[in-house]
Structure 1
């Protein structure tokens, strides 16, 4: 069993930056105790087939990615960053099952089924029940991710290449049209409901220098969600991490750039709404939020890491009217 305890404040909200992706990836999903993993696992076919069932975050198995950076753009399973209302990453979990088949020594394919329930991502529910392995009512569908993974070795340097897609049977609200195919801003009617939501992703990681744990690893993550229902519909992140700087085996450094795209259909709705209701006009998010981050990870002890970082956010929230932001951060960890 794995639990997660969170307590703190959101720097982006306090400083009124207007950012889409969290400046502190550890913030969010309710500042409280969470039941993160409570699952059983079993292997079959001499270890080729692996099965898990229980309470699991989707990102525990699908599009699994490290969280060495502090900005959420470069942390964890990317789909959860842009469609987090139904793709649930750490620390929140839901009832789920996953099958993984090792097709060769370097390849595998896996498929899962995850409960979609809005209560799991509701902060109020998390504060009251986030630590409980309960069965809340209100389930709206099932999320089914499918992933193909290739883990080659090039001259002894490891790679990790993933291609995945997902389908959610839960309905999603259209960003522009109402139930009668009229603009919502004109009719003020109920949004058109789509019978499902979907998307796809690529994730490439490749070690390019060094031996063992030391050396440089480059990565590229690209995720595209459906444009009908996803307010943020695309995220791209590219970066490099280096382990073993200055002869210190545990020290590391990283640099990454990324972009999170605000869906133009939502912007079209907001523009029309602003024309019709100028006294109640809201911001138009029509473009990319660009983020760059650099960090240095210092490990004075094997189990302790201090990771100061510098972040720069351009067009926070995809809104060109928002001021750019320069952020100094510090991420620390203690591993037992």
Structure 2
């Protein structure tokens, strides 16, 4: 029985990670007298014999990392599969004040490479939100950040210009969970055809003003171009700092933020709105205001697309930024007429320092993503007219629960097994509920 379990693909991945963690832990034990011991290193390869620090003193820093996510569906879909996807990150920042005397200026470059397969698609689970959040936007190389940052007025005003993912600056949110419902800037989860999060970037400019020591306001403009979300285009050009033709408009988000300290514990509260100047197709009506499914023709055009969000994170117990409990709440809504997925809500909690291990933590979250009933009206008509080609009706909430334990045998490595339960995948009761065993791992080099 034990031998057959180890033959399971996901089990082999877990065993390999545990073996790596054990070796690393042994290395830690062997070097406890070293001031730069493996246990406390921020990076797996340490300080490169001091070279990393010397370069940082001159204004050059690095951010190299690797992460993979494996997942196996035990129910749901039509096949029992294990799928694996990963991402490499190669980043560097250049302090132009240290290098050239250019006061307050930094230039940052990040290139990423994604590989692997999507469990939800391969097993036909029907889910809306990715089971492996690191999958997507073309399994290839991406120019993720290529931007200049300039600070003014003693750092109160920051201006960024270049290639940026939207969620890098606007509606920032952590990505500790493996299901996309709880990862990254939430608007990208429901209007991802134009709100483009990591790893894809577009030409953008961002202005952020720190109005007080703990409040800020920022406004940005991002190029909207369908090529940025075209996988085939990404495979050919995703790594280039080019200016693709076919721009349809600009995404303009406005965000207000507050980062208070409550009883000495940090919090982050954000609220914002966005406006996309691009036209949007109506999901149900044609230009004559008749149902598309019945009358055909061209979809009614809306001259813009829009939405709003609130995001709250607050540590409630423990030590500031350390051991303790942190909770979060996200709510995002997009316009009804053009957004097939038009709202998402997520709540969750994390506890850091479990078993008195400073880098270990646990998390649990619940989220619901709503499939627009307006779009479902059109599909019902199409199914009635073409019953032999009937498709699943998505007109409710896809509900997701995820729990995980994050184990860090050494500071630079996190091994995070998780369980996901997806009820009504895609927002349809016609799809079987899915139970997924996942594994998310990250290494900082």
TM-score range, shorter chain: over 0.9
For the residues of structure 2 that align with 1:177 and 1:320, how far apart are their CA atoms? 25
Q: Corresponding residue for 2:38?
A: none
Q: Corresponding residue for 1:233?
A: 342
Superposition TM-score, scaled by structure 2 size: 0.75
For the residues of structure 2 that align with 1:81 and 1:200, how far apart are their CA atoms? 13
Aligned runs of 1:1-336 on 2, under 5 Å?
Answer: 1-212=109-320, 213-336=322-445
Runs of 4+ aligned residues of structure 1 deviating over 4 Å after TM superposition are none
Paired residue secondary structure (2:176): coil
Structure with higher Rg: it is 2
Paired residue secondary structure (1:7): strand
For the residues of structure 2 that align with 1:156 and 1:64, how far apart are their CA atoms? 22
For the residues of structure 1 that align with 2:332 and 2:112, how far apart are their CA atoms? 26
For the residues of structure 2 that align with 1:278 and 1:181, how far apart are their CA atoms? 24
Paired residue secondary structure (1:38): strand
Report the structure, 1 or 2, having the larger helix content: 2
* Structure of higher RCO (CA pairs closer than 8 Å, 6+ residues apart): 2
Paired residue secondary structure (1:299): coil
Alpha-carbon deviation of 1:210? Answer: 0.4
Alpha-carbon deviation of 1:83? Answer: 0.2
Note the residue ranges of structure 1 that are not aligned, 5 or more in a row.
none
Alpha-carbon deviation of 1:167? Answer: 0.1
For 1:40-81, what per-residue CA distance to the aligned partner results, in whole angstroms no more than 9, with x for missing partners? 000111211000000000000111101110000000000000
For the residues of structure 1 that align with 2:385 and 2:113, how far apart are their CA atoms? 45
For the residues of structure 2 that align with 1:77 and 1:108, how far apart are their CA atoms? 18
Paired residue secondary structure (1:6): strand
Q: How many residues in Structure 1 have an aligned counterpart in Structure 2? A: 336
Alpha-carbon deviation of 1:211? Answer: 0.5
RMSD of aligned Cα (Å): 0.6
